[in-house]
């Protein structure tokens, strides 16, 4: 799991990715604090594997989960439900959420040490 804004460390596939793509409205009004809290809370959920996020106009956050059941439980978390509603009502001009099964992983990891 990425702790420093880098690439998340995930297990061998299969597992699931939730891709959350957003266009923000103007203003913050608690968005930054809530976004930070949601990542902290997600890390505490059973089945959470990691998260990656980037924003430059278009925001993309990808969270990784070990099962569809874990994703469904996260979606129904009470504090997360409140944040979802605020997002729809206040923070996002547009958004899309996609759930994908990761079947293969390719890449280069920086060697430790």
- What does the DSSP assignment read for the chain? --SSSSPPP--SSPEEEEEEEEEE-S--TTHHHHHHHHHHHHHTSTTEEEEEEEEESEEEEEEEES-HHHHHHHHT-HHHHHHHHHIIIIIEEEEEEEEEEE-------PPP-
The number of residues making up the chain comes to: 113
Domain membership of residue 46 as a residue range: 19-102
- pLDDT (mean) for 94-99: 97
CATH number of the domain that 54 lies in? 3.30.70.100
Residue 24 maps to a domain = yes
Question: Would residue 66 count as lying in a domain?
Answer: yes
> Does 67 reside within a domain?
yes
- What per-residue confidence (pLDDT) applies to 112? 60
Residue 7 in any domain: the answer is no
Percent above pLDDT 70 for the chain: 94
User: How many structural domains is the chain composed of?
Assistant: 1
Reported as a single tens digit per residue, the pLDDT across 4-57 is 578 999 999 999 999 999 999 987 789 999 999 999 999 999 999 999 999 888
- Total-model pTM: 0.89
Can you give the pLDDT at residue 113?
A: 52
């Amino acid at each position: 799991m990425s702790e420093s804004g880098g690439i998340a460390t995930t297990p061998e596939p299969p597992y699931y990715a939730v891709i959350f793509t957003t266009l923000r409205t103007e203003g913050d009004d608690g968005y930054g604090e809530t976004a930070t809290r949601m990542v902290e809370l997600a890390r505490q959920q059973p089945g959470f594997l990691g998260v990656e996020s980037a924003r430059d106009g278009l925001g993309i956050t990808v969270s990784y989960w070990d099962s569809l059941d874990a994703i469904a439980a996260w979606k129904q978390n009470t504090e997360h439900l409140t944040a979802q509603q605020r997002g729809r009502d206040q923070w996002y001009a547009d958004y899309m959420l996609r759930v994908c099964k990761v079947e293969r992983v390719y890449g280069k990891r920086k060697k430790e040490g």
